[in-house]
Structure 1
């Protein structure tokens, strides 16, 4: 009994110590100066950008994204939209061209995934314009996204300050659909507000998350295109840039909206890919991150932060539960022993579950309260999402476990939420 309690206590303490810095991030974000220098900085130059959109059968949503780009409060002649219609069997390419985008069509069933589509697109840009540096920077977006009218203007401010990679505030078009979409949305909003925001305030490196980021053309040229093709090419891109000494920036005032999966099957497949991709990145770059922590003191925080982002904390929790179940199974062979260890073992499992629920509830509560007016959902659905958010996060437990042993391949997620920037603005006004 004493041994079980000791092991459980060590595991809980270890997890708390390892991730305590993220609680410090929350405090920094809450008490930080609201009038940040980046918010008042005026760019000395209006840079030329291209939006790169990798799209596979996205005819339902691609038009709204292109329209939102065309309506930017930024000189139109300094923005191009380039779509790579990747293995499309619908009218994505035609619709993209009708909305004023340059469109390249790619057909390759062997090299499947967003990373390969992006690399193909950059190669076509070199063919057409002569060099990657035809643009100062490239925005990387998914076809289901929609951007705020001041998005480029705000991102240009941070870009002009010298950041070569910049991520932005990730919001959601369909927060209010169900517990799955609200779970995704609340996590991404928390990631922007309470991870990337304090990182930027502390001048450490932020991390790119899927979509909605800007890359200096010099980085694309250095890499001779896009060479990140693991299942989570975004986190791979972040890790490589951090190891190479880049500080990824964050622009809180640049907001975009994306669509979350609406069914558990879609969510399971997507998060299975993410979990497997995180393992891939950890196995490939984990040692380098640890080595760089101690090799360059100024990179310690960024490398430690990224290592803990990749670290399978969920597996440690699973391990703790399995350990208690093993003790329980062992005790079942002896009635007297079972009576001794049963209360402590079941208590430890229950404690782990309740502790996780309360932790996620607290994170969700802080995020929901501070970002209330930015969330596109009725008040009752926002409140309801606070209670279902921990349940959504608990579903990562079986996903993380299965991803260890299952072969995972990239699968497209169907998008159908057609929402214009004007409709989003009306929802925002209704929230105020």
Structure 2
């Protein structure tokens, strides 16, 4: 029995590793080709739509000045632009700082949330802005983001030239990547997500996921869907499923770049990633219950990917670890010891290879320092995710059983005074 369980665990792990190798190849191919359409697309940038940019902000005084400075420099006709800072029940100087920008720039304004949306989290704040805006295109940026000057231009360009796309997704990079060992890990993780999960899935399956920031969606689409789900901690993933189920697609266009701050301490990382994991688990469980009524078969495939990632893959890793530990103290009569060691070494080398190749897409990221960080990451950061997913699943199941209210955790920000040097135009 132990041998059978061990084989099941190895199969689950290797399916995920090989799938990500496949995505890495697709991401690299997308990187080589996505800019080729831009010269032709530029010709259609004449009758531009109005754009509303939503910036949900709760106690963001540490970062909001730099974010709004970036917004004031956006390359887009200002008469067609409105930047809305949604001051959601802040108790610090967020509203005061934002109002100074509103006084200086006519296209920036501050929106104070009101009941029932006040203090309820990001989805409620976005719904408040949706009801108080006019743009034909809605863009969303987190309050710690500094988009490059043409980010919104490229998002709109994608929607103009791809009429079947409901939403256009840009690329985000880590502005504080060099601050701590943790932000270096997150930087590697982020690059892999951009080019594997986003670029690879778009290349092979024409599927991408709406992130929490740096995306544009057509107003009539989001209004037709009834706005954002206030019960979803991962409102971006939940919205993705509904968009695809309506028969639209979401395009990944990495020319639109924003820089965002990532957690610099383990405590902040744990709380943020727990919210992400619980949010994605909520989405999977929500839509798996509706799987027979979903209209679009493509999204069933994506649901299975999330289910595999947050349930089956981690189950396989946990199962293999448990069997290994038990076998140290009690002979389970595992007959695949040498095979298991060989497969583990191959799995590690495959992980190392696919991550380093993905890092090569971004300028200056495939280097000796990151090579050693990737090795260290495999034995530390990747294992931390296992514990986090178990904890998140326990909390989410408990919430569902006892019908607990969803509590939104707002990620703590850090001073950005030493983080500006990282920004530059990337490949």
TM category, shorter: 0.7 to 0.9
Moved more, 14-23 or 386-395: 14-23
> What is the match of residue 181 of structure 1?
183
Q: CA deviation at 1:366?
A: 1.7
Q: CA deviation at 1:214?
A: 1.0
RMSD: 3.2
Could you say if the C-alpha distance between residues 256 and 290 of structure 1 is closer, same or farther in structure 2, counting changes exceeding 3 Å? farther
Q: CA deviation at 1:389?
A: 2.8
Q: CA deviation at 1:380?
A: 6.3
Q: What is the 5 A alignment of 1:22-421?
A: 22-31=20-29, 34-36=32-34, 37-40=36-39, 41-42=41-42, 43-44=44-45, 45-100=47-102, 101-106=108-113, 112-125=120-133, 134-160=134-160, 161-162=162-163, 163-202=165-204, 204-289=206-291, 292=294, 301-325=301-325, 331=330, 338=331, 341=333, 357-373=348-364, 381-390=369-378, 391-406=380-395, 409-418=407-416
Q: CA deviation at 1:396?
A: 0.6
Q: CA deviation at 1:278?
A: 1.9
Q: CA deviation at 1:419?
A: 5.6
Q: CA deviation at 1:343?
A: 8.9
* 2-structure distance, mates of 1:122, 1:420: 34
Could you say if the C-alpha distance between residues 299 and 236 of structure 1 is closer, same or farther in structure 2, counting changes exceeding 3 Å? closer
- TM-score, with length taken from structure 2: 0.83
Q: Is the 8 A contact 1:204 1:301 kept in 2?
A: no
1:18-56 deviation digits (Å, cap 9, x = unpaired): 663332222223345724353332234322111100011
Q: CA deviation at 1:250?
A: 1.0
1:174 aligned counterpart, secondary structure? coil
* 2-structure distance, mates of 1:265, 1:47: 42
* 1-structure distance, mates of 2:272, 2:359: 24
Q: CA deviation at 1:257?
A: 0.7
Q: CA deviation at 1:279?
A: 1.7
Q: CA deviation at 1:92?
A: 0.7
* 2-structure distance, mates of 1:224, 1:55: 22
* 1-structure distance, mates of 2:208, 2:291: 15
* 2-structure distance, mates of 1:319, 1:153: 47
Q: Is the 8 A contact 1:205 1:248 kept in 2?
A: yes
Unaligned regions of 5+ residues in structure 1, if any?
A: 126-133, 332-337
Moved more, 192-201 or 295-304: 295-304
Q: Is the 8 A contact 1:183 1:388 kept in 2?
A: no
Could you say if the C-alpha distance between residues 398 and 173 of structure 1 is closer, same or farther in structure 2, counting changes exceeding 3 Å? same
Relative to total residues, which structure has the larger helix share, 1 or 2? Answer: 1
Q: CA deviation at 1:95?
A: 1.0
* 1-structure distance, mates of 2:381, 2:317: 16
Q: CA deviation at 1:379?
A: 5.8
Could you say if the C-alpha distance between residues 380 and 34 of structure 1 is closer, same or farther in structure 2, counting changes exceeding 3 Å? closer
1:296-345 deviation digits (Å, cap 9, x = unpaired): 5565655544554554522331133234545666x3xxxxxx3x738967
1:251-272 deviation digits (Å, cap 9, x = unpaired): 1111111001011111111112
- TM-score, with length taken from structure 1: 0.82
Q: Is the 8 A contact 2:98 2:110 kept in 1?
A: yes
* 2-structure distance, mates of 1:35, 1:383: 26
Q: CA deviation at 1:244?
A: 2.4
